[in-house]
Amino acid sequence: MELKKFVDQLPIPPIIKLKKNPHNNPYVVRMIQARHRFHKNLPKTKVWAYQGTVPGPTIEVEKDQPIYVKWENKLPNKHFLPVDTTIHGAMDTPEVRTVVHLHGSSSRPASDGHPEAWFTRNFRQTGPEFVTQTYEYPNRERATALWYHDHTLGITRLNVYAGLAGLYLIRDEEEKALPLPKGEYEVPLIVQDKSFNPDGSLFYPSQPSNPSPDLPFPSIVDGFFGDTMVVNGKVWPFLEVEPRKYRFRLLNASNSRAYLFQFSNSQSFFLIGTDGGLLEHPIEVQSLQVGSAERIDIVVDFSKLQGETIILQNQYELGNPIGDVMAFKVTKQLNEKDHSQVPSILSKIDRIPLKAVKKVRHLTLDETQDEYGRPMLLLNGFEWDDPVTETPLLDSIEIWELENKTEGGHPIHIHLVNFLVLGRRENSGKIRKRIPTDFGLKDTVTVNALETVRIIMRFKPYAGKYVWHCHKLEHEDHDMMRPLTIKNPDDH
């Protein structure tokens, strides 16, 4: 289905500002089936949505003000996307299950959204003992953009694609004091790729493109790549802007697609923050690689572009329709003089001393095949159900060397912690230059094909059961995810 580009205005998701609240009076967020118009020439499409909107509402909180959220599953009992019952989590379980992960949050295990801590409509569940509906979010992080999304074992790819994702912004006084663009000049951009059936419904493949006769139906695919770009729930939208600086909080919420973002006029822009908040100093760039689940905080100056239209592009796909992401039309009049700036000093990132490292782990990203001959990606050669092998001590510091032995990139996400990228090298040993986003705090890092990335982190503030995984959702659902148990030294 061919849809005209840049005919729908970019919508801004509704903002919910949540204040500190007690456990016995949680905020309620419902997951419901709704209908959403992705393009003016499409009929309304069936989606699953937090509070009925796609993407979900942007939640705003203040640093160090803990909140309690009750996540209510009000979804139907049958999925509208193809469920493969041959993969972990989807065997002998209800077809529709949900669990919410606040991605980037240092939450207790019971509030982390463990993939096995799922529940069904009206909180029916048969998962482990830490299944809960009411989650505590301490909000100890620096000012940053987290995001919340479904994390259910075996069907994460389907639930997120159906619409279960939204931004979560933490504010603090340090950030508020900076002269960055604010208010209407700070704009969220939640980028996804989708495909649509002729009737306007969401298309998700029920089989690989060349299925073998003995393949189960439906069957998981190795990755989903849509033919249509969607930003904030609209297909190829446009945003009218003033000739001034804007701050964009950009999230790659695509199932599998990585982007190399650039502007059609090749203009430079400033990277000011990554997954874990502000950089120490801005970095001027002309393009940025962003894998699935990664966030970038950028400032773009339109002041010399009055009357022009600039396209945000994906350099990896130039020449294809999805090489275009959205348009910026510099057609609005300047409301008032732009006093915003990108200061040369943004923040301070606490460095972890290398001499404090207690353990170095060398972990591989591998490709094999499952019993049906389908590609199966694994971490360190283990499947999800294999015994836990990553068991750092609480408050200990480790370096992980992530060696990608495959021909594709993998965005690796580690729950609970932020980490710093120490370096990249080809697996042959040749040192590679760090990319701009490597200079900030991260919770997800793309390990490119045949590359090793070294990261350093401190495992705190909680002990317990967490996970680490590839954030290509098709890979995550098909066993590229492993348990991570943080052990309390007092228990030894």
pLDDT at 1: 63
State the Cα–Cα distance between residues 314 and 296, nearest whole angstrom. 14
pLDDT at 137: 98
User: Which residue among 148, 173, 198 closes a domain?
Assistant: 173
CATH code at 57?
A: 2.60.40.420
Same-domain pairing of 27 and 137: yes
Determine the 3-state secondary structure of 356 from DSSP: helix
Report the 10 Å Cβ neighbour count for 428.
Answer: 7
In the chain, how many domains are there? 3
Is the pLDDT score of 156 beyond 80?
yes
Same-domain pairing of 167 and 188: no
Write out the two tokens for 423.
């370096």
Among candidates 281, 252, 284, 279, which has minimal Cα distance to 421? 279
Is 348 a domain residue?
no
Average pLDDT score over residue span 373-391: 97
Residue pair 410/366 in contact by the 8 Å Cβ criterion = no
Same-domain pairing of 469 and 409: yes
pLDDT at 216: 93
Same-domain pairing of 141 and 231: no
Alpha-carbon distance values, 462 to 179, 203, 337, 459, 483 (Å): 35, 40, 47, 8, 15
pTM over 0.95: yes
Write out the two tokens for 480.
């590229």
Same-domain pairing of 169 and 262: no
Is 320 a domain residue?
yes
Same-domain pairing of 189 and 72: no
Query: How does pLDDT run across 204-226, given as a tens digit for each residue?
Result: 999 998 888 889 999 999 999 99
Same-domain pairing of 325 and 364: no
Same-domain pairing of 99 and 237: no
pLDDT at 212: 83
Average pLDDT score over residue span 170-179: 98
Residue 143: give the domain boundaries. Answer: 15-173
HSE of 225 in the Cβ direction (CA atoms, 13 Å)?
A: 13
User: Which residue among 173, 198, 218 closes a domain?
Assistant: 173
Is the pLDDT score of 21 beyond 70?
yes
Average pLDDT score over residue span 146-175: 98
Band the pLDDT of 171: cuts 50, 70, 90: very high
Is 337 a domain residue?
no
Give residue for tokens 């790729």.
193
Is 349 a domain residue?
no
* Higher-confidence position of 388 and 214: 388
Beta-bridge partners for 265: none
Is the pLDDT score of 197 beyond 90?
yes
Same-domain pairing of 125 and 191: no
Instruction: Give the angle subtended at the CA of 74 by the CAs of 46 and 82, to the nearest 5°.
Output: 45
Is 456 a domain residue?
yes
HSE of 58 in the Cβ direction (CA atoms, 13 Å)?
A: 21
Is 346 a domain residue?
no
Same-domain pairing of 27 and 80: yes
User: Which residue among 173, 191, 220 closes a domain?
Assistant: 173
Is 126 a domain residue?
yes
State the Cα–Cα distance between residues 311 and 236, nearest whole angstrom. 10
Same-domain pairing of 21 and 162: yes
Same-domain pairing of 449 and 479: yes
State the Cα–Cα distance between residues 97 and 155, nearest whole angstrom. 8
Among candidates 295, 247, 251, which has minimal Cα distance to 274? 295
Is 341 a domain residue?
no
